[in-house]
């Protein structure tokens, strides 16, 4: 046999061996973005009086409206029919079929609370104060009054008001003149739990006695967080979570009469919250376990754990215990399905699925289950991430990839469902949602690591996420981009400006471009949080302004040389549209391809399905144009053709 023939056979054998040794991959059925966004998003508010119906909202019409979900046949009965702004369910008016919802105008965040009767076409604005932001804060013990938080008196601070449900006349319950945040109120209305932000990783907890007009500080001087979770109805016990003296938050039982604080529950992860049922028969505890919820149910009197239903691949996002304390309304998410509602009867142990949110045209087997991965960053710090690998990716069909950056500062990417992520992964792009230093959920040391160091260590974590992706043999190392929204959008712009050779493209959704302007123009109702934000990010009115200017992508736009697409809501009050306008104008001066999409009817985040679809479509078109790699299969065809030509010359 000639040497050339031996070479050809060896090459063909190597190709066959490589194919056999690879992990099994397959081409999933690919769905359109319209099919994916036919998935339903559902939110639950509460039970009606006889616990036969549930007040919910969903976006089946393209925006959110309020519905009544009948438990017996799981049918939705529409209660509102908005075509412009989304309406979100709050609760039934106690003892009535009337219901309350909240809504703003075009994403401007000035939410109002509205009362409506089923069958009516006009709602009553319960908070008719112009340019005010209002939110529901619960019901009084006798259910004859509603508590609300509102900044109608002073745009900077939220007061707590009590609205009599007979007349809806507001009465001041707690006037906030010191920048404190209302957290909870006792059943007798004597005690009010308040917090004050000091830094983004330190706050204070106070107990205000409305009878004696005195305020007692429950927190200490340590760098720790303190968050009230509820009062017992006897006015003697307050529960709160804190990470005082610990990396992770734990649950504390505080006796108001004796002043004794007792740790009653802790875990190796953050205890994210605790909730009491109406008559205190049960309490639930939520734990943020490595990017996913763990929920425990307890008999409150004995503190013994009660069996909780297990749902395969389920992440319990919310639990509502009915007033009778016989039923649990569960909101259950999954990485391969939008969240669904379930009803669990504590007496019969029967679990009933009430919704089916995944479009029936989509097979869950063609979606990708998220997994938690970890990689070492530039300084050896271990960085957690949520990873989605395309089903079709292998060494012969290498995938392009995106480093996905969450919002914040201080947010967290979690195991869960995302239409946007599943669409891109289905189309062949791997997604690594990085929880860079400064993210929530991994201890307070990790959370504080990016303070006054933004666009440095946190950004390098994203770059090392890119390096992790490049090491996977089914990823094209030359086809990795970066994607993020809000703070994550700033990270996108920063990556392209400060590390211009790392990522091939950037996808920026309403990202901060100029920290000086953003920090000076935060909404007035963030006043109680402003100093804390300045402590972490830098104060634009001090010498910090030099650092903030140097780390703002806008002042470094001339360094951006890679294709960029930017999405912005015209009504955004957190990241002003001018942020995106100016970065787009600047980068275009570099002769770099820049696409810009502005939605006139959105704020900070896109709520309407048509705008979400446009965002996903334009993103995929952009990636396919500037990022999509040549597949190994295509390269192999060229190689085989080369071999065939060599054979013909023998």
What local confidence, expressed as pLDDT, does residue 631 receive? 54
* Closest C-alpha among 623, 640, 621 to residue 632: 640
Read off the tokens for 38.
Answer: 């036919």
pLDDT of res. 23: 53
d(CA 588, CA 595): 9
Residue 387 scores a pLDDT above 50: yes
Least confident of 270-279, 506-515, 523-532: 523-532
pLDDT band at residue 529 using 50, 70 and 90 as cut-offs: confident
Copy the structure tokens of residue 65.
């409206």
End-to-end CA distance of the chain: 12
In this prediction, residue 41 carries a pLDDT of 97
pLDDT at 312: 80
Exposure on the CB side of residue 97, measured as CA atoms within 13 A: 11
pLDDT at 530: 87
At 20 the pLDDT is: 34
Residue range 222-254, pLDDT digits in tens = 999 999 999 999 999 999 999 999 999 999 999
Strand ranges for 300-424 from DSSP E: 304-306, 315-321, 327-334, 337-345, 351-353, 371-376, 382-388, 399-405
Q: Is the pLDDT of residue 66 over 90?
A: yes
Give bridge partners of residue 306 from the DSSP assignment.
297
Is residue 639 predicted with pLDDT exceeding 90?
Answer: no
Q: How confident is the model at residue 11 (pLDDT cuts 50, 70, 90)?
A: very low
The pLDDT assigned to 647 comes to 35
Average pLDDT over the chain, rounded to an integer: 92
Are 124 and 114 in contact, with CB atoms under 8 Å apart?
A: yes
Q: Could you tell me if 339 and 332 are in contact, meaning their C-beta atoms sit under 8 angstroms apart? A: yes
Provide the pLDDT for residue 16: 39
pLDDT above 90: residue 17: no
Residue the block writes with tokens 């994403």 = 107
Q: What percent of the chain clears pLDDT 70, i.e. is strictly above it?
A: 93
The verdict on whether omega for the bond into residue 119 sits within 30 degrees of 0, i.e. cis, is no
Spatial CA neighbour of 477 closest among 624, 638, 627: 627
CATH architecture, domain 368-514+552-633: 3-Layer(aba) Sandwich (3.40)
Query: What integer pLDDT is reported at residue 313 of this predicted model?
Result: 78
Q: Indicate if the pLDDT at residue 456 is higher than 70.
A: yes
Span 297-337, pLDDT tens digits: 999 999 999 998 888 878 999 999 999 999 999 999 999 99
- For residue 427, pLDDT over 80 is answered with yes
- Residues 77-92, mean pLDDT to the nearest whole number: 97
Confidence at residue 558, expressed as pLDDT on a 0 to 100 scale = 97
3-state helix, strand, coil in the chain (%, to 5): 25, 35, 45
Residue 593 confidence class, pLDDT cut points 50, 70, 90? very high
For residue 533, CA distances in Å to 154, 223, 412, 414 come to 21, 15, 17, 23
What confidence score (pLDDT) does residue 470 get?
98
The whole-angstrom separation of Cα 640 and Cα 630 is: 16
- Using CB atoms within 10 Å of the CB of residue 213, give its burial: 0 to 12 exposed, 13 to 18 middle, 19+ buried: exposed
Domain boundaries, the chain: 368-514+552-633
196, β-bridge pairs? 204
Residue of 409 and 125 predicted with greater confidence: 125
- 246-302 pLDDT per residue, tens: 999 999 999 999 999 999 999 999 999 999 999 999 999 999 999 999 999 999 999
pLDDT(168) > 70: yes
Within a 10 A sphere around the Cβ of 373, how many other Cβ atoms? 16
DSSP 22-71: SPP---PPP--HHHHTTS--EEEEEE-TTSSEEEEEE-TTSS-EEEEEET
b or e along 515-526 (b: 16 or more beta carbons within 10 Å of the residue's beta carbon)?
A: bbbbbeeebebe
**Mean pLDDT calculated for residue range 535-563:** 94
């Amino acid at each position: 046999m000639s040497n050339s023939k031996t070479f050809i056979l060896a090459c063909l054998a190597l190709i066959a061996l490589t194919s056999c040794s690879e992990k099994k991959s397959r081409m999933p059925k690919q769905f359109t973005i319209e099919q994916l966004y036919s998935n339903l998003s559902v939110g639950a508010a509460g039970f009606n009086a006889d616990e036969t119906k549930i007040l919910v909202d969903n976006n089946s019409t393209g925006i959110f409206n309020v519905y009544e979900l009948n438990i017996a046949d799981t049918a939705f009965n529409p209660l509102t029919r908005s075509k412009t702004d989304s309406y979100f369910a709050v609760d039934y008016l106690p003892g009535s079929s009337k219901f309350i919802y909240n809504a703003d105008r075009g994403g401007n965040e000035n939410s109002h609370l509205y009362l409506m009767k089923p069958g009516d076409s006009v709602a009553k604005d319960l908070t008719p104060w112009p340019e005010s932001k209002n939110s529901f804060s619960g019901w009084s013990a006798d259910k004859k009054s509603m508590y609300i938080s509102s900044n109608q008196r002073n745009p900077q601070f939220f007061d707590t008001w009590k609205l009599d449900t007979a007349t809806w006349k507001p009465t001041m319950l707690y006037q906030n003149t010191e920048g404190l945040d209302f957290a909870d109120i006792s059943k007798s209305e004597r005690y009010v739990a308040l917090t004050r932000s000091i830094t983004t990783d330190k706050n204070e907890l106070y107990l205000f006695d409305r009878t004696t007009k005195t305020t007692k500080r429950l927190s200490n001087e340590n760098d720790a967080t303190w968050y009230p979770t509820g009062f017992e109805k006897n006015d003697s016990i307050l529960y709160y979570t804190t990470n005082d003296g610990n990396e992770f938050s734990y649950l504390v039982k505080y006796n108001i009469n004796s002043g004794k604080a007792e740790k009653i529950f802790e875990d190796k992860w953050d205890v994210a919250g605790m909730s009491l049922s109406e008559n205190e028969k049960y309490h639930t505890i939520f734990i943020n376990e490595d990017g996913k919820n763990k929920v425990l149910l307890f008999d409150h009197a004995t503190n013994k754990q009660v069996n909780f239903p297990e749902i395969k691949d389920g992440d319990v996002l919310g639990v509502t215990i009915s007033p009778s304390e016989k039923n649990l309304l569960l909101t259950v998410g999954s990485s391969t399905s939008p969240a669904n509602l379930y009803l669990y009867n504590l007496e019969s142990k029967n679990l009933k699925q009430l919704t089916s949110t995944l479009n029936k045209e989509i097979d869950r087997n063609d979606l990708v289950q998220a997994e938690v991965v970890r990689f070492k960053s530039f300084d050896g710090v271990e960085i957690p991430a949520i990873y989605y690998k395309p089903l079709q990716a292998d060494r012969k069909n290498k995938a392009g990839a995106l480093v996905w950056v969450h919002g914040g500062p201080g947010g967290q990417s979690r195991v869960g469902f995302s239409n946007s992520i599943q669409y891109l992964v289905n189309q062949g792009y791997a997604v690594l949602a990085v929880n860079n230093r400064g993210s929530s959920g991994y201890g307070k040391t990790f959370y504080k690591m990016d303070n006054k160091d933004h666009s440095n260590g946190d950004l390098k974590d994203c770059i090392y996420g890119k390096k992790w992706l490049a090491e996977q043999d089914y990823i094209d190392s030359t086809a990795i981009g970066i994607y993020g929204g809000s703070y994550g959008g700033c990270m996108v712009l920063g990556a392209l400006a400060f590390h211009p050779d790392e990522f091939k493209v950037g996808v920026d959704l309403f990202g901060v471009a100029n920290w000086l302007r953003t920090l000076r123009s935060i909404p007035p109702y963030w006043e109680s949080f402003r100093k804390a934000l300045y402590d972490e990010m830098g104060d634009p009115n001090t010498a910090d302004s030099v650092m903030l200017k140097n780390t703002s992508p806008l002042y470094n736009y001339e360094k951006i040389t890679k294709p960029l697409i930017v999405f912005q809501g015209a009504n955004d009050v957190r990241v002003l549209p001018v942020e995106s306008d100016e970065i787009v104008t600047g980068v275009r001066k570099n002769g770099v391809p820049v696409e810009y999409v502005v939605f006139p009817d959105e704020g900070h985040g896109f709520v309407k399905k048509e705008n979400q679809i446009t965002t996903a479509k334009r993103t995929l078109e952009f990636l396919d144009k500037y990022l999509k790699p040549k597949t190994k299969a295509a390269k192999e065809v060229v190689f085989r053709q080369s071999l065939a030509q060599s054979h013909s010359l023998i």
